[in-house]
């Protein structure tokens, strides 16, 4: 009997490892090192940002989003150089580790903002469903509520980061995303092993598990903030938590289906498979279509559906 569910479990686990392992590969950024880009920046700053020359006006909305003369030059030169390269058949390059996107209303990555807001809405709608359909007396209700609260916060900060990429907004995005992933793991263990049950042993286990997760998050944030801002470590930490969640939910789905033979039991496994497929978008990184949509924004788009299903 073990092999009946062990085989698909192993396939999901292997696919998860394969997909997530590849996401830690970071493309080299060469656009900001191109001589023509550096020359463009030098000329633009000299002609438009020098105090002894007339200042180029910056739209009010851009100023509200902290666009300065220097950052306007940087944005303009990225697209000038990219346009020249495309006209001569050369590849589109990344600048400072990011693709050159066309902004909209001052937002650097408008479609990533839009899809982040879509995920935010999915959690908000899920929270309303939970609060209207599940009584407060149900022992898992508080965990459902916090799943939504953490998810909403995570996508708020994702929207802010993709609107304007600063170190501060990046930190908020990364810390909130880490909290989202870690709370997902926390909730998964609580739900799968029913640590919400009010027995002395499980209540003690829940306290210990809560302390472990809180300590892991504080250690994670402290390391990134005060010791080293490490992209590879951050990705590895999220990957590890994600793999454990996916494995647990896949095992749980097959176990429940084997016991009940009802299709509702496989929904968590289906959602996990969808999320893994969505993650694969990060494997196929490509220059943004029409300067607007890249693989990362598609990853945000494809996580909206699983979130909606999860709350059902």
| pLDDT tens profile 35-89 | 999 999 999 999 999 888 888 899 999 999 999 999 999 999 999 999 999 999 9
Residue 126 lies in a domain: yes
Residue 139 shares a structural domain with residue 49: no
Claim to verify: residue 49 and residue 111 sit in the same structural domain: no
Examine the domain organization and report whether 194 and 58 are in the same domain: no
Query: Among 200-204, 205-209, 262-266, whose mean pLDDT is lowest?
Result: 262-266
Domain membership of residue 101 (yes or no) is: no
| 50 occurs within a structural domain | yes
- Nearest-angstrom CA–CA distance, 256 and 190: 16
Are 191 and 292 in a shared domain? yes
- Average pLDDT, rounded, for the chain: 87
Q: Give the C-alpha distances (Å, rounded to integers) separating 123 from 153, 154, 178.
A: 10, 10, 17
CB 154 within 8 A of CB 176: yes
Rounded Cα distance between 157 and 294, Å, is 19
**Does a structural domain hold residue 258?**
yes
Shared-domain flag, residues 146 and 294? yes
The range of the structural domain enclosing residue 70 comes to 31-87
**pLDDT value, residue 263:** 67
Lowest mean pLDDT among 65-74, 177-186, 276-285: 276-285
pLDDT band at 100 (very low <50, low <70, confident <90, very high): very high
CA dist 148 and 156 (Å) reads 12
* 258 and 118 fall within a common domain: yes
* 27 pLDDT higher than 60: no
Say if residue 229's pLDDT is above 80.
Answer: yes
Would you say residue 265 has pLDDT above 70? no
Where does the pLDDT of residue 12 fall: very low under 50, low under 70, confident under 90, or very high at 90 and above? very low
**CATH number for the domain that contains residue 165:** 1.20.1070
- What lies within 8 Å, CB to CB, of 235 at 6+ separation is 23, 24
Least confidently predicted of 88-102, 111-125, 268-282: 268-282
Lowest mean pLDDT segment, chosen from 8-12, 60-64, 69-73, 99-103: 8-12
CA-to-CA distance for 248 and 9, rounded, in angstroms?
9
- Per the domain annotation, does 98 fall within a domain? no
Is 60 in the same domain as 120? no
Tally of domains in the chain: 2
Q: Mark whether 21 and 36 lie in a shared domain.
A: no
* CA distances (Å), origin 108, targets 29, 162, 288, 292, 310: 18, 6, 13, 10, 30
On whether both 181 and 247 belong to a single domain, the answer is yes
Give pTM, 2 decimals: 0.84
What is the distance between the alpha carbons of residues 109 and 115, in angstroms, rounded to a whole number? Answer: 10
Rounded Cα–Cα distance for residues 306 and 312 (Å): 10
- Whether 48 and 173 map to the same domain: the answer is no
Position 39 in a domain = yes
Asked if residue 149 belongs to a domain, the reply is: yes
Q: Where are the alpha helices (DSSP H) in the chain?
A: 2-22, 35-48, 60-64, 69-87, 110-133, 141-163, 167-192, 200-222, 231-260, 267-279, 295-302, 304-310
Looking at the fold, whether 129 and 247 belong to one and the same domain comes out as yes
Note whether 266 and 286 are same-domain residues.
yes
Q: Is residue 226 part of a domain?
A: yes
- For the cut 80, the answer to whether the pLDDT of residue 256 exceeds it is no
């Amino acid at each position: 009997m073990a092999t009946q569910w062990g085989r698909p479990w192993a396939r999901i686990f292997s696919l998860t490892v394969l997909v997530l392992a590849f996401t830690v590969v970071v493309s080299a950024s060469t656009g900001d090192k191109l001589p023509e880009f550096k020359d463009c920046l030098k000329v633009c700053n000299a002609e438009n940002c020098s105090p002894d020359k007339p200042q180029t006006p910056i739209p009010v909305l851009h100023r509200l989003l902290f666009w300065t003369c220097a950052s306007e030059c940087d944005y303009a030169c990225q697209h000038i150089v990219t346009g020249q390269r495309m006209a001569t058949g050369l590849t589109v390059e990344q600048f400072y580790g990011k693709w050159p996107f066309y902004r909209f209303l001052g937002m650097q990555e408008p479609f990533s903002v839009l899809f982040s807001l879509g995920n935010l809405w999915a959690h908000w709608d899920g929270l309303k469903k939970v609060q209207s359909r599940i009584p407060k007396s149900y022992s898992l209700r508080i965990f459902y509520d916090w799943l939504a609260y953490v998810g909403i916060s995570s996508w708020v900060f994702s929207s802010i980061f993709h609107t304007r990429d600063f170190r501060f907004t990046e930190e908020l995005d990364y810390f909130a995303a880490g909290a989202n992933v870690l709370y997902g793991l926390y909730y998964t263990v609580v739900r799968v092993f029913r640590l919400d049950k009010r027995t002395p042993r499980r209540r003690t286990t829940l306290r210990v598990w809560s302390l472990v997760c809180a300590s892991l998050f504080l250690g994670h944030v402290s390391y990134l903030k005060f010791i080293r801002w490490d992209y590879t470590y951050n990705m590895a930490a999220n990957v590890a938590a994600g793999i454990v969640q996916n494995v647990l939910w896949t095992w749980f789905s097959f176990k429940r289906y084997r016991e009940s033979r009802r299709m509702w039991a496989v929904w968590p496994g289906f959602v996990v498979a969808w999320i893994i497929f969505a993650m694969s978008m990060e494997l196929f990184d490509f220059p943004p279509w029409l300067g607007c949509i890249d693989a990362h924004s598609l990853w945000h788009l494809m996580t909206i559906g699983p979130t909606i299903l999860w709350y059902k």
